[in-house]
Structure 1
Amino acid sequence: MNPSDISVVIPTLNEAATIENAIRSATRAGATEVIVCDGGSQDETLSIASDTGATKIVRSIPGRGIQLNAGAVFASREVVLFLHADNLLGESCLQQICDVPDVVWGAFEQHIDHPRFAYRLIEKGNAARVRFRGMAFGDQAIFVRRQIYKEVGGFEEIELMEDVAFSRIMRKIAKPVLLTGPVTISPRRWEQRGIVGQTLQNWNLRCRYHLGASPRRLAKQYR
């Protein structure tokens, strides 16, 4: 397997400010199939994606789980990688996947694009969650063999926590591989709400989800 055997799916909704860099990071990493699945953007997201070289542009109703599945329908490569529009793949990320024998699924270590030491702690905590709990989140660029993805039915089509639900299913099949990446992620939500405030909100949302709260209601609070 080589990087061209990996499809990259990017869900978008009004991501004109970020989509170009996300696509370029995928192509620099060796992707030859980049699928943008848009949930109804009102800005220039689609035209920028087209001009930047997205292989396919798919339109979908909004909702990250719905969009991820809609984009994956058009994926034709052996492995599918799901990349958030405000995340960037490191140049060696796809090759790292190829170097893992018989890879089933996994995610990457992160680099939060800010020099504060507190972000280094968040990065380490997120890596430990994958390594010890088998729980990968979407901003770690989850990847999975396409055939297995189809067998488990893809992502649950919910507005939030689709990555948590997917990890719960996948860790029963195989332990996720954690690769060094890194995936560079934006600190924008932490900077808007404060590191402590955003972290506490994330924990609150996940706890409520585990206790049975509606993903739709949680998504409204998250936004």
Structure 2
Amino acid sequence: MVSIIIPVYNEAKNIRKIQDNLSKLKGNFEAIFCDGGSSDNTINLIEDCYTVLNSPKGRANQMNYGSKVAKGDILFFLHCDSKIDENVIEKIEEEINKGFEVGCLKLKFDSRIIWMKICGHMSNFRVKLRHIAFGDQGIFMKKELFDKIGGIPNLPIMEDLELSLRLKNQKYYFKQIDSEIVTSSRRFLENGIFKTMFKMQKLQLQYLCGRDINEINEEYRDVR
């Protein structure tokens, strides 16, 4: 079984959309919403058929918290504003059964602007070339591997980058399955596509060069 873990915080605008998406999925799965202390109506809008947890705030904290109660042998981490194909659960299980232990989906932005399409292609190419996947690409892995590597790195930001680096260092590489995950392009359009791309690349490089993660987190707020 696949356990879908969804960290949420003040997601009242998106919470019904993700539930509608979940209701159309095929296969054997459970969905766990990990709330980081929402002050809006997020929790009240989640249907009773899903598990809801109150977790310490922070995406890494919330994902780790959800993994502790997950019943599935495969963990699938999903952003609340993402949309996935109805047969993705079956495709994930198919790749895991082939022997892959960690993977992700093919990223696509919800915009027809050519630069956003290019950004999506670059993100997918990064997975193949550098073996690095980010959270908006729908990371999944065997729970056994998740426990082995110590879960999601406890960082306020860049937790997905650090996770990818730790996996790569231990010779675990992402299998990118043939299934799209559509994510919001809102922050790019609101803050400027090229400005946002440049700043995100700059912050990633600074993290790799050892800049204090709390300083990076403060600066990252400007591009969200």
Same fold (TM over 0.5): yes
Per-residue deviation at 1:26?
A: 3.0
How many angstroms does 1:212 deviate by?
Answer: 1.5
Aligned to 2:16: 20
Whole-angstrom CA distance in 1 between matches of 2:118 and 2:126: 12
Name the counterpart of 1:94.
Answer: 89
Which one of the candidate residues 157, 170, 176 is aligned to 1:160? 157
Q: 1:118 aligns with which of 112, 115, 118?
A: 115
Change in Cα spacing, 1:61 to 1:133, as seen in structure 2 (3 Å) is: same
Q: Which amino acid aligns with 2:154?
A: E
Count of aligned pairs: 217
Is 1:72–2:70 an aligned residue pair? Answer: no
State how far apart, in whole Å, the 2-side matches of 1:170 and 1:26 are.
28
Distance 1:89 1:69 in 2: 22
2: distance between equivalents of 1:77 and 1:147?
10
Q: Does 1:33 align with 2:30?
A: yes
RMSD over aligned Cα, in angstroms?
1.4
User: Which residue of the partner structure matches residue 141 of structure 1?
Assistant: 138
Paired position in structure 2 for 1:183: 181
Q: Quick check: 1:35–1:58 contact (8 Å CA) kept in 2? A: yes
SS in 2 for 1:57: strand
Equivalence map 1:42-57=2 (5 Å): 42-50=39-47, 53-54=49-50, 56-57=51-52
Q: Residue 52 of structure 2 aligns to which amino acid in structure 1?
A: I
Query: Could you tell me how far 1:103 is from its partner in structure 2?
Result: 2.3
2:55 is matched with which residue?
A: 60
User: Hey, what's the Cα distance between the residues in 1 that align with 2:214 and 2:33?
Assistant: 23
The answer to whether the Cα contact below 8 Å between 2:8 and 2:35 also exists between their aligned partners in 1 is yes
- The Cα shift of 1:200 comes to 0.8
- Could you tell me the TM-score, scaled by structure 1's length? 0.92
Q: 2:116 & 2:130 partners in 1: Cα distance?
A: 20
* Aligned residue number for residue 220 of structure 1: 218
Shift of 1:174: 2.0
1:26–1:213 CA distance, 2 compared to 1 (3 A): farther
**Identity value in percent:** 27
- CA shift, 1:70, in A, is 0.5
Find out whether 1:83 has 2:81 as its counterpart: no
Gaps of 5+ in 1: none
Matches of 1:163 and 1:74, distance apart in 2: 21
Letter in structure 1 aligned against 2:127: V
Instruction: Give TM-score, length-normalised by structure 2.
Output: 0.92
- Report the counterpart of residue 193 of structure 2 in structure 1: 195
Shift of 1:222: 1.7
